[in-house]
Chain A
Amino acid sequence: MVTTYLRRAYTSFATHIYDVPPRRLAFMFLLLFLAFPATNPPQYILLILVIVNMMAIFAASWDLLVGRTGQMSLGHALFFGIGAYTTALLNVFTDLPLWATIPIGMLLSFVTAVAVGYVTLRVKGPYLALVSLAFPIILIGAIFYFKDVTGGERGISGLPRFFPYLGLYEQRLAEFYFSLILLLVSAVILYKIAYSHTGIVMISILDDEVASKGCGINVTKYKVMALAISSIFASLAGGVYVHILQSVSVGTLSVDLSFMAVIMTIFGGLGTIYGPLAGAFVIQLLDRYVLNDLIVVPSTWRLLIYIIVVIILVIKWPRGIARFVTDQLGDISKAREIEERGSHIWKKYKKKKK
């Protein structure tokens, strides 16, 4: 009995302490998205939203590695690119359907993550950031070298779409809902991992690696685990992304994409898992809609704009936009309520003990 109380009190408090996501708010956003196609949006808006969903998965997966485990990686596009190129090449050279090739890409990226992780995750801090930066560049080099197979700079085009038996607009619509489900499932899995007991160990590595070793934790194992999990989701995003665009290019491995993950996550709130989703929606909509269609800004200037946005944000709301909004909406978000419930259970527990 006491144990149940304790577990409940602990979970309530723990979720409060590590920033509970505004569940009601998230649910409202979800409903909004589900209802969005009712407004009959043009096809390209739906396409943008599908891509945004994939970028959100990518950013959230980066957050598990960096925001939670503290392993600074600036080459996360490596896994996005592996996912993208694996499914593209398998589609060109074999008869496998894309429902099989995307999981193969995820598996391959998992294997790569374990191999790369055991080598690089022994390096710390800025050195790790530099080492991780190199890997996607090496892969780009390989892609340019094997031009005949990979298509070099031109990439591969003419890849199949997810629902070819539907009409053009219905296809987009189906893809929109499909990507939304993928985002939801990935975000929930990443969130559950981040807030589980394993997530606690990951935070302990972020806070103090030496103390974590002193607690008997195999630090390398947990770091590799975080990298492997995040790589699976990054390559899922990459694999879906190329089948939406129907083409793949070295852009999926570019440094820009790696930095985009950094920008989106820091904008949304590092270490929250739900923050990067918010960051991805804001930054990617800015990138693909506002600065592309509404106000036309050449792409060379855009990175500068995002960096200025992030600098302003870091000065004004260093904990990210998602936490800022949660704090502002304290009354309607669930965080406050959970805190009260937690302390209530805690008082009950203390009474029982007496």
Chain B
Amino acid sequence: MYLLEVENLTKRFGGLTAVNNVSFHIDEGEVVGLIGPNGAGKTTLFHLMSGFLKPDSGTVKFKGENIVGLAPHKIVNKGIARTHQIVRPFRHLPVIANVMVSLKSPRGNKKIEWIKTIERKALDMLENVGLTELMLEPAENVGHGDLKRLEMARALALEPDLLLLDEPFGGLNPLETDFLTKSIQRIHLDHPTRGIVIVEHKLYALMKIVKRVIVLHEGEKIAEGKPEEIAKNKKVMEVYMGKAM
């Protein structure tokens, strides 16, 4: 049984088919990259997997159970946490309280060790991504790079079995990218059974982390394989750089 199994997933917006008959699977402990040019349907696929959108057809099975049609918060409590492409902080709340929202959800609350308070656990999560210095700052005063990490901390607080990262490196400078790469790798080592899916345009950073890459183009899956194979794949090169004359 796979951790996540996507079968023949299709989503149309009016005349546009954003995701067309896509199937793939993710194993426990696997780090998978999801790439493709702009408008390829990557974020739509994430929305379908996390329940924010409902597919027109196809199934998403998480641990063998069909999760299509469940409300987003129910899917989160089953163990799929995600970050958003555009940061969505709770701007009135201090950074630590942003994480505490996750810990107040049924799953987050269950995962707090009995010896810890909710604040203590939240601080641990901030430590994971290196945000302890800013913990009491209201999120509206925090910079974009730190908000990206805050999104990660919020998702990690749920101790998900499957982590969906939507462009975690978007808008980050090389230094921040490097730091985040390392923390993703560390998260992977700390929780060897956790599956991670990363949507990213910065292929250089992505290829260092992932074991397998899925390429989408105009809503269809055009290639899947190891990073080295994908880099040499003709179809992928065509999509990214245009056809050879």
Contact = CB atoms under 8 A, between A and B. Distances in A.
Classify chain A: how many residues form its interface, as a range: 20 to 34
B73 A217 contact: yes
Interface stretch (A48-56, A79-87, A202-210): A202-210
Contact of A214 (B82, B93, B97, B107): B82
Contact of B136 (A7, A10, A213): A10
B161 to A, nearest CB: 13
Contacts of B106: 216
A102 B181 CA distance: 60
A214 B105 CA distance: 10
Nearest to A212: B101
A214 B136 contact: no
A211 B117 contact: no
A339 to B, nearest CB: 10
B116 A3 contact: yes
Contact of B107 (A2, A198, A200, A216): A216
Interface stretch (A11-19, A178-186, A232-240, A247-255): A11-19
B195 interface: no
B92 to A, nearest CB: 5
A354 interface: no
Contacts of A3: 116-117, 119-120
B76 A197 contact: no
A200 B105 contact: no
Nearest to B51: A213
B50 interface: yes
Nearest to B88: A211
Interface centre among A6, A207, A210 (most CB of B within 10 A): A207
B108 to A, nearest CB: 6
Interface in B115-156: 116-120, 123, 136, 138, 154-155
Interface in B70-128: 71-73, 76-77, 81-82, 84, 88-94, 96-98, 100-102, 104-108, 116-120, 123
Nearest to A68: B92
B101 A200 contact: yes
11 contacts: A3-B120, A6-B123, A7-B119, A10-B136, A14-B94, A201-B101, A203-B90, A203-B97, A214-B88, A217-B101, A346-B136
